[in-house]
Structures are given as structure tokens and as C-alpha cells.
Amino acid sequence: MINFHRNERAASLPARLSRSWLLVSAAATEEAIAQALESEADSVLIDLEDGCPADQKDAARERVVAVLNGGASAWVRINGIESEHWAKDLEALNNAAGLKGVMLAMTEHPDHVTRTAMMLPAGTPVIALIETALGMVNVVRIAKAPGTFRLAFGQGDYRRDTGVSDDPIALAFARSQMVLASRVGGLAGPIDGPSVGKYGSDLIRDCAVTTSHGMTGKLTLDPAQTETINLGLAPSSDEIAWARELLQKSEGDSVPKDGSYLPRLARARKVSSLAKTYGLWRS
């Protein structure tokens, strides 16, 4: 019998501040799921949707419930509301003690989130995965829907639906829409799509695109990407040094009190808070 252990650092991090969201197939072995839980991923998503073959979904669903009742604690990506598997996923997860929340695939209307939340134990958070043009058009209403915890960008299906390329400029509108919707809905920053097969400086550049748009999380399919994503989506050393200097000066009277001062001070406090949460403030 496998003993499931969550990475202690990640386990203590609030999901609204999670940077790396690791998807692991529900059809994977218990050993693979255990390795995902012990990884540096801030949050782990067991995938009952695209990462799970259609002919294995029923067996995988039973395995997920067994894992979540066997000591594991994780999020689960469930099938879209139009799928025959949606209701089965929700029925099964009602009996999963370690369920942290769900990510709803193919979210296109606010009632998709509301109906999903109503079929889960009260208070279960729902991440709305925006993957189509219709979902993007309705993204503000989705962000404000009861039950929505955070937004996520399914850029692969979105590109397939719209014909948009993977060029950051081509996807800038979609990313910005999700950031604005999250702000209007009072949500944490949205979760960007994965950078499949990218590592090192290539992945850091993709993370820079994510943060430049105001997104604060990123999906990944590979545990080897998690540490880079965590670094790329955390305050940089330059930002931390700037925040520390401004906060130190704010204790005296040496900072000019012009119209930019209060916004800069608020930004410095936010950087300080995030850096402390991620264990970077004293590094």
C-alpha cells in the first residue's frame, strides 16, 4: 500500500497563490501520482479529462477516489458539462475525502460553474478552464459566477477553436481578457496554459510572458518544469531588492510624496508579502 505524502512546502501554500499546477493522468499508476504529490508543484491536478483515455475513464475515476480516500490530497480536472462523464465525475468525487477542488474543462457559461459547484460538497472551489471562443466571450460573467475560485487558460483547445497561433502577441488579447475578468470577479490571477517540452531559458521566457500579462499561475504536464515555473512566477531578485529599499525608506521621510508614491508603496508591500510566502525575502 502506498503512503501518499504531499510536498510540505507546497501543502502549506494557499491555492490562490499557487504558481505551478501539475497535471497527472488519472490513468497513471499510484506510484506516478505519489511522485507528483511529492514534487515541487504548488498544486497537483489529477486529470480525468484530456489526460485520461475515454475507455479508461470509469476505472480511472474509481482509482482517483481510492487515492483521495487513501491519504492523498489533490485537485481533480473533471470533464466538461456537455460530456457524459461530467455527472459521473461529480458523483464519484462527492465521496473523496482528500478532494481540494476541481478544474472544470470547457467552461463556456457561468451556470457551468454554478451547476458544478452545486453538485459538490458545499464550499468546494471550482477553477473554470476557458478553452473556447464562447468561454472567452463570457469570461467576465464566468469569473463572477458563484463557485468560481480561479480562471485557467486552456490555450491548446482555444487555439484549435479559434485558429490563433501560439505567438504571444496573438494570444495577448485572450490572456488580458482573463486577467481583467479575474480582477472584476475578485479572483486571484488566472492560470496560464502549459509550455509543452520547454525547459531552462525557454521556459523562463514563457513565464515572463505569463507574468507580463498579469497571470500568476501556469499549468504543466511535467514535474521537471515545476521549479522553473515557481521561480519564473515569483518576484525576481531585482523586484525584491527594489521593494526592500522602498519599504526601508518609507519608515523615514526621505521618499518624495508625489502622486506615484502610494501606488509604488502598495506594490512594494505586495512584492514583500509574496516573497515572504514563497520563502524568498531573506534569500
251 and 167 assigned to the same domain: no
pLDDT tens by residue, 131-164? 999 999 999 999 999 999 999 999 999 999 999 9
Beta 217-220 vs 74-78: how paired, if at all?
unpaired
Residues 6+ apart with CB under 8 A from 186: none
138 and 271 assigned to the same domain: no
Helix (H) or strand (E) holding 130: strand 126-130
211 and 98 assigned to the same domain: yes
Instruction: Give the whole-angstrom CA distance, residue 106 versus residue 86.
Output: 11
Query: Quick one: pLDDT band at residue 251, thresholds 50, 70, 90?
Result: confident
Residue 1 lies in a domain: no
The CATH code of the domain that includes 80 is 3.20.20.60
Instruction: Give the whole-angstrom CA distance, residue 68 versus residue 93.
Output: 9
Number of domains in the chain: 2
pLDDT tens by residue, 23-64? 999 999 999 999 999 999 999 999 999 999 999 999 999 999
C-alpha cell at 37: 504529490
Instruction: Give the whole-angstrom CA distance, residue 93 versus residue 100.
Output: 10
Q: Map residue 241 onto helix, strand or coil.
A: helix
93 and 44 assigned to the same domain: yes
161 and 87 assigned to the same domain: yes
pLDDT over 90 (residue 104): yes
* Largest Cα–Cα separation, the chain: 68
Instruction: Give the whole-angstrom CA distance, residue 196 versus residue 199.
Output: 9
Give the predicted TM-score (pTM) of the model.
0.93
170 and 263 assigned to the same domain: no
Residue 271 belongs to what domain range? Answer: 237-277
Instruction: Give the whole-angstrom CA distance, residue 277 versus residue 283.
Output: 12
